[in-house]
Structure 1
Amino acid sequence: MFMGDIMTLCTKSFSKLFSELEDCNEDEQKVKIEEMNGLMNEMEEDEFFSVFNKQLFDRMNILIDKKKIATKDSVLMLKHIGYRKELKSIWMCNFENSLLCERIEKMIVDEDMKKEENDEKLHIDACECYLFLNNTFSNEHLSICIPCLLKVASDKEKNKEALKEVEMALLALSGISDNHIICHELYLNEIAEILIYHQHHSNLTRLAYQSAWRFLLNRLVDDESSEEIIVSKLHFIDEATKELEELAKNVSGKRNEEERRRQEMIEYDIIKRWIIVFDHLFMNFKSWNVEYAGLVRCLAGLIKPLRDNKQETSNLLIYLFYVIAQDQIVSVDELQKEGVIDQILEEINQKTINKTAVRNCLKIFSEISRGLKGELDNETKKAERNFIKMKIIEKMEEKGFEDIIMSLNDITQNTDGRNFELPFNYIDYFVFV
């Protein structure tokens, strides 16, 4: 009844459990909610979006009104829904248009007004639900939720329960997009301290650390002092590169099947979240170049494992290289030296490559060609440029680039009517001396 057109075994099981909630006692409800939480973990994005629609959230609100389900239990369920939504980078507006959203917003304000007498755990959970499940936020609610969750995220304990709570708080904060301008006094010192402490003591989970960076970068990307804070004080480039190198090693390593499946699901999600951060960052900061060599090399090394396991994330990564090439954030020389051109040539030669990846691969070569054109008045620079061109051409010939382009005729035509399709003219994608 909540599933729309997508009725898999997973969604059918979830629907059945949800429909049984109002006829259970509190202990039985807790068991069923745990089962539903487990089913959420197995859902693909289209299933998730279909299940958690406005009707389901409004139905939950009615069950709370009728005291058929405890408020605390419903909030814990919402929190898990939000956790999966944010981890998977799923965009949906079903919750914020529901009556249940109004209830959570009122709960946040009411609990905040109680101050010392409030139910601190319920207040934290409500704040996390609000940030997890909404896309737009009021200044009033942000002014309550951000300090509340930063306080949780500042916990330096390393026990399993504390680590999970910190991770949950930072993940919720990371969902506040850069559309929301928030004064520095509300977050900057606290989030910087959290990042610096982790760099010295390694007290955060990998997802928590990535989320802390995402929250900060969403806040500072349009700020004039951003580069100094992000690069010089907090060492973003080095830190992000180290994290990606570790993730790349993990997803490429050998594990038994059950362990691999469980762990890689999380690690690939974290990689996707890093790529989204870099895309946002590169499009806003244009001045960095040499500092990105190690990061670019690491990203290039992720193309193959992502292609083999997470095609959607692979497409995001290839688009990121298009952004880098288009804005000449990293020199063509560095792209060549760090293996990007080799990897893109390898990618475009795959028989299973999809239209999105083809377009972005071709646009990368078009931008590389553009980056190597133009007049130079320095003979040494001319010689360096010609050497780079020759290396790229040799690599293209080795990989059979011309034949690849000719074979892509069907894909490069305007097959889906989008206005960013490339014209079919393979000459445009060669680099000439």
Structure 2
Amino acid sequence: MPASLVISAPASGVGKTTLTLALARAWRKRGLNVQCFKSGPDYIDPAFHAAATERASVNVDSWAMDRSTIAHLVSRGGDADVVLAEGSMGLFDGVAARGVSGTGATADIAEMLGWPVVLVIDPSGQAQTAAAIAAGLRDYRAGVRLAGVVLNRVASPRHEDLVRRALKEAGIKVFGALPRHAEISLPKRHLGLVQAEEQAEIGELIDEAARFVAEHVDLDAVLHAAGQWSPQAVANGLNVRPPGQRIALARDAAFSFVYPHMLEAWRAAGAEIAPFSPLADEAPDASADVCWLPGGYPELHAGKIAANARFRSGLRAFAETRPVHGECGGYMVLGTGLTDADGISHEMAGLLGLETSFAKRRMHLGYRLAELAAPMPGHQPGARLRGHEFHYSTILAQPDTPLAVVHDATGTVIAETGSRRGHATGTFFHLIAEDR
């Protein structure tokens, strides 16, 4: 049975991703098979997990997914030696209103699966208080079990000693302490970490993180504290229907935000995926019956997208007879125009009337529940779709017929309704699952 752990923290930015990647690579170097998962809707981290483990990682999300879906997804770890689930935000952070099986908190996954938690604690600017924080997290929810902590960004041996003593008095095991080490920081941009496929040196960064963590953390003690997990047989898998039989999928540095479990579900249902690169001025495959443009960073490549006439004309020709759908960045590219951060306006595909701007940035972040007013590829009117929205664009115009009534996690109706015109549809949220 695999050893199972959840890597979490009191807050974002403490070092969860770095520790997860380092542990995964260190154990991989020992000859162990490691399977990673990402708790929550972040679509960037799974690619880093795959780089560290050489196994595909997927998201598990208690707000958007039911228990059988989560059980189905994590069952892929049944043949691994170690299973690691990287948390999001703080251990108990989720939304105010419960979703399908929880609030989206990492603690939901830890309790649901019975996986012990390793906390990453950053004691910068404190000492004994770090133990109080760890003890509070340990005792906050009875069904969540704390295995121990790893200290990160410790200032000095004296600082480490003070924190270790306090944690020992609180009955909390310390697996190791990492001194400040800026060299293993992963590059970031406005939507989070720079994507793994954009970093040629990602392997070296993960190797360095693994070496550093192995030097300062007792890897055997961490494994000994892990749970012994046996995946359960699941009758029902993912409630995801492919948008077509042959799907032309935009896939490059501008169109890379697509959940791995979605692609796997499409393939499992018998669909074929035909990737193409708008940045390379490629048009969607003429033999496909649907085209899908995921999100990504089109705002960083708007000039090139606008100049790629073969891509834009091919997309327009495709949309004359077949469905085209865009998510977030893909939705923006389906629109009339995109204004970049420098205030320069770029002509997009013009399949929808949407106009967006990054010159006046405003963060849009959160879960979304959409009730479709019209069909979109793979889903019928009335379907309840759960997804996640994260972007900084401002809507200048959204004149087309709304695609859906969209609510946030509290039930409040929001303005980002998505659009439809002819065969083109688009949403600002990234689809995670449809309610059963």
Which structure is higher in helix share? Answer: 1
> What TM-score do you get using the length of structure 1 for normalisation?
0.30
Larger RCO (alpha carbons 8 Å, 6+ apart): 2
Looking at CA atoms only, which structure, 1 or 2, has the larger radius of gyration? Answer: 1
Which structure is higher in strand share? Answer: 2
